[in-house]
Structure 1
């Protein structure tokens, strides 16, 4: 699975006049126009930092860059080693690029018709190790960015773990270990749901994280569980906190509990209390948002029932205390009938099923 996208791009990229190639900064023609990442006509979605001039930094998957540009080509500049992005130019099919340690510039498109074009670029891996940075775009000589894109007014926030990140989705071998090559948030239930509902989406997720206990952690819990990391702009840096006024969601979807119950070494009372405190925290931050507690799709058996019971209890308590905007929804557990991704994570088809279920639920809940 992980090579199919690359093969497709090689076969059809020329027909679309859209492709990616990496070059070094020294290879750039002097007559191209550089547009810095702080240009007001570039629009961002997701948790980003502007603390360094002319540099946009981020670590969570799903962070997206939008721009409209003139000319026949577009190149993107980023810090070497930033990792992988999915790129969409105009209405052409998306394709994946990767900034390795040797890449500072990627050609996103060339040979386009004269005129104005759109670019949508999504970061699709977990960047807490890579610490990605977006620097800006190179345009044809004499060209510029045009009016800033207008993003959808609907807004969703997804809080989760490896499933929300896209761990292993581009693999079809459950015995394959984790690899950034097979992680791709673009194909997750979260990103698919947002696209289906024509909504923005912001992601706060990391593989292995829990609401009180991360994967393999002591029964008593983890100091770096989701509630303790939630306020940070970067997962790996507590020095810069997120300004929640930058993005106010209409609905927050929380998909946690899988790692808490890992290895059958958990305290259900601690898990329930952690969920209770986290949902109250979200309510304080977002007084008007609907909060949806999700399960799916890796839990089975007793752990699935325990997590569902914990979420049911917290939702009922919140409703009983007068907060009627806390909801529950269960996506289907995976059975293997749709294949498995790396490390027995949801396959691409399983993510599509999850997205179809969640899209229908949110469409009715939100009257979208």
Structure 2
């Protein structure tokens, strides 16, 4: 009996010793800093701190090729929501909330070279997300820059371009960061269909001269006033336009300007005319497309279309043949709505299905 008890004690002691050894065994990983030259950034990113770059506009992308079976990203806690694509797998969403400085993105992958694209899904001007690098398997690295598409598009817009409320199907639902997702917008879908890089400058509620429910005379913080900022609402860093030269610029503004009464069509037209001049100054060779969005109908839609038609025609008559007009089909509810009566995912994809062939027609971009 005593012999059996002694054997049991030895057995338990052995198990505890093994467990303790395993607990003390270091789990080494390779830290890839955000400043690694083989990480590609697409969009407006502030490198004031190169080890923790900051970005606020939806659609900003981080791309890399990595070795090994797993990958995690290091971020500032509460950096919010991201879409992740690895190789040809289905995209998925991850979140960095209050205590999340490391977000696991994948494990149990084949031990080969992989490609990853991380996209900011929401408007980050309040949380101000920061990326601080990757964690890989021990001894693994990111050996080369990812191959980026040569084509480049810039999308300038409002909540439609941001993807406001796109992940819910209740039009009475309120806005939440977690239900906004730029990845499913007409803009992101258009860029993917055309195999183009995409830089996004968009903010919910913003207008060309008047923000949502603003005074008839307009707002000082409308898009033209904020456009040069690297980080939205941050006046301390002006964007370096030499960092990204688009082939095409799509401007989808005007919805908020006319969504509530009263508004001034003269100021709306003037705002677009001046902003077009600004864009042409930064991008002398780009094709600029003035879009009307899918949330308007009736007289407000007519007023926006009239203003856009006049501004485009004036530019064409003055010798600028690279200014175009395009109207997205207004939502009629048949494809559902997102939060606050914003376009559903199906409506957004319909917009991409309309816009893609138009952009092909003016650029000559083949498949």
The answer to whether the 8 A contact 2:207-2:257 is kept is: yes
Aligned to 2:155: 158
Q: What's the RMSD between the two structures over aligned residues?
A: 1.0
Corresponding residue for 1:124?
121
SS of alignment partner, residue 235 of structure 2? strand
From 188, 208, 219, the equivalent of 2:185 is: 188
* Whole-angstrom CA distance in 2 between matches of 1:207 and 1:95: 23
Match of 2:267 among 266, 270, 283: 270
Alpha-carbon distance between aligned partners in 2 of 1:48 and 1:262, rounded to the nearest angstrom: 31
Runs of 4+ in 1 over 6 A off after TM superposition: none
Shift of the alpha carbon at 1:198? 0.3
Q: Distance in 2 between matches of 1:344 and 1:67?
A: 37
Deviations for 1:267-300, whole angstroms, at most 9, x for unmatched residues?
Answer: 0000000000000110011000000000120011
- Aligned partner of 1:17 in structure 2 is none
Q: Is the 8 A contact 2:159 2:202 kept in 1?
A: yes
Q: Aligned with 1:361: secondary structure?
A: helix
TM-score by length of 1: 0.92
Matched, 1:227 2:224: yes
Partner of 1:6: none
Unaligned runs of at least 5 residues, structure 2: 1-24
d(CA) in 1 for partners of 2:299, 2:109: 55
Normalising by the residue count of structure 2, what TM-score does the alignment of the two structures yield? 0.92
Q: Which runs of 5+ in 1 are unaligned?
A: 1-27
2:293, 2:231 → 1: CA distance? 26
Q: Please report how far the alpha carbon of residue 53 of structure 1 lies from its aligned counterpart in structure 2 after TM superposition.
A: 3.1
Aligned to 2:196: 199
Deviation at 1:106?
0.8
Distance 2:323 2:116 in 1: 36
How far off is 1:30 after superposition?
4.8
Q: Does 1:304 align with 2:301?
A: yes
Which deviations, in whole Å up to 9, do the C-alpha atoms of 1:280-334 show, x marking residues without a partner? 1100110000000001200110000000000000001111111111000001000
In structure 2, relative to structure 1, the CA distance for the partners of 1:29 and 1:86 (3 Å cut) is farther
Q: How far off is 1:236 after superposition? A: 1.5
1:29 deviates by: 5.8
Q: 1:254 aligned to 2:251?
A: yes
Q: Deviations over 1:8-28 (max 9, x none)?
A: xxxxxxxxxxxxxxxxxxxx9
2:137 aligns with 140
SS in 2 for 1:363: helix
Aligned to 1:53: 50
TM-fit CA distance, 1:217: 0.8
2:213–2:261 contact (8 Å) kept in structure 1:
no
Match 2:361 to one of 335, 339, 364? 364
Q: Indicate which of 24, 34, 37 corresponds to 2:34.
A: 37
Distance 1:202 1:29 in 2: 41
CA contact (8 A) 2:65 2:143 kept: yes
Q: Is 1:288 aligned to 2:285, yes or no?
A: yes
Pairing 1:205-216 to 2, within 5 Å after superposition: 205-216=202-213
When residues 291 and 30 of structure 1 are mapped into structure 2, their CA distance, relative to the original with a 3 A threshold, is same
Aligned-pair distance for 1:225? 0.2
Larger Rg: 2
Aligned twin of 2:174: 177
1:87 is aligned to 2:84: yes
The aligned counterpart of 2:96 is 99
Match of 1:245 in 2: 242
Match of 2:344 among 311, 323, 347: 347
Q: Does the aligned pair in 1 maintain the 2:82–2:95 contact within 8 Å? A: yes
Displacement of 1:264 in angstroms is: 2.2
1:216 Cα deviation after fit: 1.2
Q: CA deviation at 1:140?
A: 0.5
